Structure 1
Amino acid sequence: MEAQLFSHTVDNLGFSPKHPPPPAYIKMRSKYKKEREFDRMFLAQELRAKTKTEKKRLSVATTSSTTPSGSAGVQNPIWATEFSKDGKYLAAGGQDKVVRVWAVLATPEDRRAHETEEHTPNASGHSTRLSAPVFHQKPFREYQGHTSTILDLSWSKNSFLLSSSMDKTVRLWHISRNENLCTFKHHDFVPSIQFHPRDDRFFLAGSLDTKLRLWSIPDKSVAYTVSLPDMITSVAFTPDGKTCIAGTLGGLCMFYDTEGLKLQSQIHVKSTRGQNAKGSKITGIQAVCWPPGSSTGDVKLLITSNDSRIRVYGLREKNLEMKFRGHENNCSQIRATFADDTGHIICGSEDRKAYIWSTSGFEGEKRNQRPMEMFEAHCSITTCATMAPLKTRQLLSASEDPVFDLCNPPPVTLVSREHSMNGSKPPTEAGSVQPTPTEANFRRVAESPAYIARSAVRTLTSSMRFQPCASC
């Protein structure tokens, strides 16, 4: 842009943006790193579900890479959130005993309908700020049946959903049905469940009665069971489904053959010294292929525990490879999760924040100084935090999600009063306005097709909404 454009006073400059301003970015903090990766995080949507006597809230924070994070308040905490395998749904459950499932805005029609429904003009007739909703505001399903707090959720590859509870049951649902399909009774609380990754006729359940059970859904019975030396607080399958993993109250992590639940080996998740040397409750286990999608690579275990540590072990050698710290997890059932590309780990915290670590190596990195970023996710304990999978991000992209335009808005053209007056000049005999030398050399940056399309849709919607009726 030429210097002559700025030779006038500010009063001579015009600024006419097409849209209201984007949401304010969330203040991100970092530690042990100079450059932040998540410096364009903003609150995209808050999902609220109300009953007669209770309220619960789920917050969705977004960056240019679409990274959502769930959290809950103390009065009615959400203890489990999980995206479906196809990325179309997000399930959440907690103290209010209801499993709620929200559907992702997957088409342009979904998004336009949502914008029309949620449009609340202010006194000037325009929304205060742009928004980038991820889900339909109203839950797609609300599953009722549990009589106590919901502790865990697990999706199958065919969109079946399991929920476990302090009412000593595991319940089976399907996204196409409103009712409970089956109930599996236990003798104590069931803190953790997981579908078999290859065959969703089976699922693993860990209970406080120290029993690890492999259930057969068609038979509605336990196929195999084994007793552990301590209460079971977390379970998982390896990606190939051949090994079951169970974590205990005292920090033991035990490995079993899925066929017959025969013991393979065990490790004790603990610090080598200090107050955490005895081991702490394991609150979460996640097993992933490394690198993702590899059939010949190693399997990594992400283990969260109540000593405020997150550890990554190699399955083959059972060796500790990485350890992450910084968050607070001393007494809650908070668990960390990998992003689906395993490039980052995200975890909630008792200090109301969500923490994000990169799994890539950094030069000069010290053992206990792994770079991290964090942000205030809620006004109370952040019980759950997870990153949206690739399939969800693809659906959002197909629905003309404005996240990209919000994070990378088209450039605003500052025009002097002299140039703006050119639009009022009468045309020449040739039928065109004679440009000034500066105007002839000025190039306007092209707007993206998606930005233009959304502008046209919003303009059409606005004109339809505010068109006066014949009787006015």
Structure 2
Amino acid sequence: MSFGSLIILLTLDFRDPFCCKVVHPSPSLYSLLKFPGHERSLTQIKFNAEGDLLFSCSKDHVINVWYSHNGERLGTYDGNNGTVWTVDIDSESRFLVSGSADNTLRLWSVASGKCLYTWEFPTAVKRVAFNEDDTKVVCITEQRMGYQCAIRVFDINREGDGSDQSEEPEFFFNPIGSKATVCAFTLIPNIIITGHESGKVALFNVKTGEEIDNNERAHSDVVTDLQLSKDRTYCVTSSKDKIARIHDTKNLMVIKTYTTETPLNSAALAPTRPYVLLGGGQEAMNVTTTSMRQGKFETRFWHKVYEEEVGRVKGHFGPINTIAIHPAGTCYASGGEDGFVRVHHFDDSYFKAQPYGTVDIED
């Protein structure tokens, strides 16, 4: 494992009622600004369950792990031979799973950085996720080269050092119609929720491969991200159609809608506070002809209940590809096309402000 630093920002640039005060970081934290997290654009970032570690993956084939409180890089997970599209961490911070463009799903030891097991497929792995008790992993493989999009579920053997795993999936099926782009286990055993290239959001029984419910009109363009609430009873999706929505994971009912003026790549739910964070921006291929402001490379804060935008945070020099929020809600991280990971810690005004009066959020 190698060592280095992460970019960590404590300065917020809100122009909304709940955070009018700027937090001035200490010089020692500002000195970390000179160290980018990756050599190429970020694809996904995730906090562990405790929030002390932040994992980031990128098109540079590398997975990094950082201390979230000070930006120190704890190490790297080397071994992939292509873009690492996706990562997830179990609730004990013992195992890490990753999916890559080298057509592999890999199981890693978080502590040692060792690759414990590798599953190989005909096409790239675009999304991975643990279930609630960390005993299963679901993964989506790409539709390409004559192969259909496939969803596989693997049992994770947690005995011993984790290197003794079954090569064959417990469940395997090809989703109906439009290919799946994102997925996660719901609260109901063996039921997953998926987002699709067509904009559809669906529920599948992984045992039978049956699509048990769907919302064909959840979005009008590709679903780019799907993140669950802490209790897995609802989720937020983002899409290239410039809209994010909160869905009930039992019946796919749309609960809330957040309409922006820019394509969205990621959406996250803030715990303890009534906010949804959205990130995106103009397509990367057009960025060189657009100013940072016109490209709309900002993290947007929307009120979860009232569906109104209440603040923005600038910083990235390209589209924001991924957003993650600390499990305790004390900070959030964003990863961009510019190759930087930025961690923003909230000041007291964020927690005390009530822009629309008292709204209690129970997670």
Considering the TM-score relative to the shorter chain, is it more than 0.5? yes
Partner of 1:374: 257
1:168 to 39, 52, 61: 61
Partner of 1:266: 172
1:151 equivalenced with 2:50 (yes/no): no
SS at 2:218 equivalent: coil
Task: Answer whether contact 2:6 2:72 (CA < 8 A) is retained.
Answer: no
Partner of 1:352: 242
Task: Answer whether contact 1:230 1:249 (CA < 8 A) is retained.
Answer: yes
Identify unmatched segments of 5+ residues in structure 1: 1-97, 104-113, 120-128, 291-297, 362-366, 410-472
CA distance in 2, matches of 1:285, 1:299: 12
Identify unmatched segments of 5+ residues in structure 2: 144-148, 158-164, 273-326, 332-345, 359-363
1:388 equivalenced with 2:270 (yes/no): yes
CA shift for structure 1 position 227 = 0.7
> Which structure 2 residues correspond to residues 453-468 of structure 1 after superposition, within 5 A?
none
Partner amino acid, structure 1, of 2:89: F
Q: Deviations over 1:18-53 (max 9, x none)?
A: xxxxxxxxxxxxxxxxxxxxxxxxxxxxxxxxxxxx
1:407 equivalenced with 2:356 (yes/no): yes
Q: Deviations over 1:265-308 (max 9, x none)?
A: 1121223xxxx3xxx2x322222434xxxxxxx35422222121
CA shift for structure 1 position 229 = 2.5
CA shift for structure 1 position 335 = 1.4
Length, aligned pairs only: 264
Task: Answer whether contact 2:100 2:126 (CA < 8 A) is retained.
Answer: yes
CA distance in 2, matches of 1:286, 1:134: 36
- Which protein has the bigger strand share? 2
Larger Rg: 1
C-alpha spacing 1:382/1:136, structure 2 compared with 1 (3 Å): farther
Partner of 1:311: 202
CA shift for structure 1 position 188 = 0.5
1:255 to 145, 149, 153: 153
TM-score (norm 1): 0.48
Task: Answer whether contact 1:102 1:135 (CA < 8 A) is retained.
Answer: no
Please provide the CA RMSD for this pair.
Answer: 3.6
Partner of 2:220: 328
Task: Answer whether contact 2:138 2:184 (CA < 8 A) is retained.
Answer: no
CA shift for structure 1 position 359 = 4.5
- Which protein has the bigger helix share? 1
> Which structure 2 residues correspond to residues 156-305 of structure 1 after superposition, within 5 A?
156-158=48-50, 159-185=52-78, 186-198=80-92, 200-250=93-143, 251-259=149-157, 260-262=165-167, 263-271=169-177, 276=178, 280=179, 282-290=180-188, 298-305=189-196
CA shift for structure 1 position 394 = 10
CA distance in 1, matches of 2:171, 2:91: 21
CA distance in 1, matches of 2:126, 2:43: 10
TM-score (norm 2): 0.62
> Which structure 2 residues correspond to residues 17-166 of structure 1 after superposition, within 5 A?
131-133=17-19, 144-158=36-50, 159-166=52-59
Partner of 1:19: none
Q: Percent identity?
A: 17
Partner of 2:283: none
Q: Deviations over 1:238-289 (max 9, x none)?
A: 1111112210112211111223143211121223xxxx3xxx2x32222243
